[in-house]
A and B are shown apart, each in its own frame.
Chain A
Amino acid sequence: MHIRSYLQLLQTRERQLAEALVAFADDHTDAPDVADACYRLAGWSQRHVEVLDRFVARWPAASAPEPAVPLPPLLPARIGGSYGLLHGLHTLWLLAQDVLLRWQVLEQVAWALRDGELLAACEEAGREAQRQVAWVRTRLAEVAAQAIVAAP
């Protein structure tokens, strides 16, 4: 059984996503829409970490040692301008997709465990993760051509 460690992996990823969103906002203060969106989306991830705390506490640590799962942080490139914006969004997309996938996996787990509370949390957080991915994709579509074709 790896429930606790899977919950913790998701927590780590949510934390990384929140930090990456804030760092990205701070790097792109010249793009006025970015900060507001990123702080809000980071707030969601922060809340997801707290929600997961509740469930982590319910599952004991494994008695036997678990295989180490490498989870290297995905750090946005600290580059300014449209070209930097584009690459930062790439990183955010990878992180947000990772988080989304993990919530979807956890949703199956919740069902298997017949844990209605966890299932509801997964559905809500999954919807928000989907919205995070959608924002990143939208912003990417706005800047992509300019960043690659015209930006200095």
Chain B
Amino acid sequence: MFGTQITEFYESRDSIAHIWGYRTPYAGEGQWPVRVDERALADADHWVQSACVFCSNGCGLDIGVSDGRMVAVRGRAHDRANRGRLGPKGLHGWEANMSPDRLTRPLIRTSSGLRETTWQEAMALLVERSQQVCGNGSALGMAFYVGGQLFLEEYYTLAVIALAGLGTPHLDSSVRLSTAAGAAALMESFGAEGQPGCYDDIDTTDAILHVGHNVAEQQTVLWARILDRRHGPRPPRLVVIDPRTTPTAREADVHLMPRPGTNVAVLNGLLHLIIQAGRVDHAFIDAHTTGFDRLKEVVARWPPSRTEEVSGVPEGKLRAAAEILGTAPTLVSTVLLGVYQAPQATAAAVQVNNLHLIRGLIGREGCGILQMSGQPAGANAHETGCAGTLPGFRNWANPAHVRELARLWKVDPIRIAAFGPPTPVVDILRYIEEGSIRMLWVIGTNPAVSLPDLTRVRRLLDQPGLFLVVEDAFMTETARHADLILPTALWGEKTGTFTSADRTVHISYTAVGPPGEARPDLDILLEYARRMDFRNRDGEPLIGWSDPEGAFEAWKACSAGRPCDYTGLSYARLGGGPGIRWPCTADFPAGKARLYTEGTFPTTAGDCESYGHDLLTGAAVTPAEYGLEDPGGRAFLKAADYVPPLEQPDDEYPLWLTTGRVVYHWLTRTKTARVKELNAAAPEAFVELSEQDAARYHVTDDQWVEVRSRRGRALARARVTHILPGLVFMPFHYGGGDPALGSRAANELTLYEWDPVCKEPWLKYGAVRIGRVREVRGIARLLRAVGRGLTLGSLAVWAARLLAKGGGRAHPELSAAPPDARAAAR
């Protein structure tokens, strides 16, 4: 990539081999020692402030620049998120910016394929098609689907364009696939989003609970902080709930391995033991919550014996976990995809909130709840109204909130698309399928790999009559289906802000220019708004800003008085600093570390972001119903009983499938597959299964296996581990391959089923069967089938192995039936 220009390669540590780095033990708030991680391909002329975009942790870093090119990254020593540390993706991932296959010019589809075009022609076409689709006076034919990695300024501009410019509620983000349930759980319990705690709570806490959150591989720097506490004085106890023995689970004092789909049963079992033992804070419950009696009644149905029967978690382990969670004077809980992408997602996430509420462990030091946002700017998608609610955590069903936006944007309220709930991507897809959405604009995300049931998704993207616009830096699997492709600048090539999972806002400055004619997403959106001539009621442009700082100032005005109040922040204050948390106001100029310190929650009818839902059916509470029992600042203790999912393993598909991540990759690998070291560390998809199941289905380690569900099939190598018997795991990062012959994408298999409250798909649940790929008709065919991820080395090894076995003639074939069934058939 840099050829002979490499003069001064330097890295402070090998993060591929030693993911979390050396330990720096500590205890106490603000005491986490500095450890600066750095990686440089050459000497930098100067350093530019930024933060990492490879997870929601928001690690501050500086980008080293030499001769107008990125050459290095270095953790910012005094940043509150990382104190100098960076993970493997942070240290390596930036090299993807320099990939030779970056998109550099707009592309238009013609009858003979995609051809390069000018921005002039591309934008003219975009506007022409938008006007056509909106020709009948409504914009319901238009939809936006945006990733979790834009900057706040871009999200907010997009929200104003969609909601008030065009007037379409069809605006959703890929955070719907990852952390919608976390956001929904915060709204159901506390009235509005916003993480109650912050990472500083790790510094002092007595116990930590991770539910469905493989923090060691998802947020490596946060895990380093936890490990440092575990190695220091007064180490916190650690409870992990996860069906896999992840690196996080291996560190745990108590590890509960529930069967897929049974999170609510396990959490109810824990709550029951804690309530039964009287380890609750009655004064807090009485003063600050509503719903305790009903919660107590529902969880009482979950004595340890029944919990064990349903979830497979042994009674002794459940009691050991309840002992820690019921007695720790302070507790930090984190929740992620193992809950959010499983059945009863919102209901389960709410039970973690309940645990803190009944013990009064909220709003004070060491007592954080982190309903994690997973993507780097996922929090901003939620805040700005790109992911299911209106900008500024406003409630679409509250006319007063809509009027506030109308005043701010100087438009009539009827111009704002708030006549119904913002449309989740599940419904956007369905409207595309029936032909009622005719233009889909995808920005910085790759639904052709990330959505469930990919066969259906690919068909929809190619649907006749759909005009598909893709704004991306790379030719992704999704871009291949596009009618118009707009090349964009990446992180480091544009200026903006984004907010981590603990509400810390960072600024990221332009370090280098984008390649070719690629442009920042904000510039594209601003030019679109200009060309569409969106105006307010005074005849002025609806979008009154022309650069990132202008957009940030406009957003501040929108956030004023809401829970996510940014009014005390500015580019000047963020520049040079360690990151600042919202709410940041005149009263809290340094930002507020913890919400709900007075035990008052944004649940009054006039304040709340949502009136809430029936956790089982998803039915919305009406304003009138809410008004009858307005909790007036108390938090909700919402009970949920366990209900078994409709799809259960059976004779035909006897195994559970779950999906997840590997530490070296991010989402669909658009960037990380383009970085040599990261890709080499995890080049291929794999199927993890237990020794028992390996024996049962005659699969050995490293052998190619086929996984089939009612939706589709995928091929990958077997990895035999200590996973729960009856469960197989595939990472969700991998796409590519030839779907007709055998994709590596886990989402070929996943259910097209969604949580009724938050509309997040069940990507971690489904029934499958597995079988060896016994024989193949020629090497070339399987190679096409397994796609581009194979390295030449592994190819050679594989080919040699195949030849040693004498090759084969039959089609890749499944031997899925268990051996005893096959014996019976004979």
Contacts and interface: CB of A to CB of B under 8 A. Distances in A.
A30 B431 CA distance: 10
Interface string A30-52: 11110111011100000000000
A151 B136 CA distance: 12
B803 interface: no
A40 B617 contact: yes
Contacts of A35: 646
A110 interface: no
Interface stretch (B434-442, B697-705, B776-784, B793-801): B434-442
A146 interface: yes
A145 B756 CA distance: 20
A142 interface: yes
A141 B421 contact: yes
Q: Which of A36, A37, A141 has its CB near the most chain B CB atoms (within 10 A)?
A: A36
A89 B694 CA distance: 47
A149 B423 CA distance: 15
A150 B431 contact: yes
Contacts of B643: 40
Nearest to B397: A141
A138 B646 contact: no
Contacts of B136: 149
Interface stretch (A6-14, A64-72, A129-137): A129-137
A42 to B, nearest CB: 12
A149 B133 CA distance: 12
Interface in B419-440: 419-421, 423, 426-427, 430-431, 433-437
A135 B622 CA distance: 11
Nearest to B421: A142
A131 B437 CA distance: 31
Contact of B431 (A135, A144, A146): A146
A146 B437 CA distance: 9
B131 to A, nearest CB: 16
Interface in A22-36: 30-33, 35-36
A141 B431 CA distance: 15
A138 B618 contact: yes
Given A36-B646, A138-B618, A146 B756 contact: no
A149 B616 CA distance: 30
A37 B752 CA distance: 14
- Specify the main secondary structure of chain A where it touches its partner: helix
Contacts of B613: 138
Nearest to B141: A150
A152 B436 contact: yes
Q: Which of A31, A82, A142, A150 has its CB near the most chain B CB atoms (within 10 A)?
A: A150
B437 A36 contact: no
A127 to B, nearest CB: 11
Nearest to A136: B619
B437 A150 contact: yes
A109 B621 CA distance: 29
A31 B430 contact: yes
Interface in B620-654: 620-622, 643, 646
A33 B754 contact: yes
A81 interface: yes
Contacts of A131: 614, 616-617, 619
A134 B617 contact: yes
A144 B766 CA distance: 31
Interface string B394-433: 0000000000000000000000000111010011001101
B620 A138 contact: yes
A82 B434 contact: yes
B619 A30 contact: no
Contacts of B426: 32-33
B713 interface: no
A99 to B, nearest CB: 15
B619 A134 contact: yes
Contacts of A37: 617-618, 756
A134 B620 contact: yes
B273 interface: no
Nearest to B617: A135
A142 B424 CA distance: 10
B753 A32 contact: yes
Given A138-B620, A141-B421, A146-B431, A32 B754 contact: yes
A105 to B, nearest CB: 21
Contacts of A150: 138, 140-141, 431, 436-437
Contact of B759 (A33, A141, A149): A33
B619 A137 contact: yes
B617 A30 contact: no
Interface string B256-269: 00000000000000
B435 A39 contact: no
B691 to A, nearest CB: 34
Given A41-B617, A135-B619, A32 B431 contact: no
A145 B164 CA distance: 17
A80 B620 CA distance: 24
Contact of B427 (A39, A40, A137, A142): A142
A138 B619 contact: yes
Given A39-B646, A134-B614, A135-B618, A145 B436 contact: no
A81 B427 CA distance: 12
B434 A152 contact: yes
A150 B427 CA distance: 13
Nearest to B752: A32
A142 B437 contact: no
Contacts of B138: 149-150
Contacts of B756: 33, 36-37
Contacts of B754: 32-33
23 contacts: A32-B430, A32-B754, A33-B756, A35-B646, A37-B756, A40-B643, A41-B617, A82-B431, A131-B614, A131-B619, A138-B613, A138-B620, A141-B420, A144-B420, A145-B419, A146-B436, A150-B140, A150-B141, A150-B431, A150-B436, A151-B431, A151-B435, A152-B435
Interface of B: 136, 138, 140-141, 419-421, 423, 426-427, 430-431, 433-437, 613-614, 616-622, 643, 646, 752-754, 756, 759
Given A36-B753, A134-B614, A137-B620, 5 more contacts: A33-B618, A134-B621, A135-B619, A138-B613, A141-B421
| 10 A-B pairs with least C-beta separation | A134-B619, A150-B140, A150-B436, A135-B619, A151-B436, A135-B617, A138-B620, A32-B752, A81-B434, A138-B619
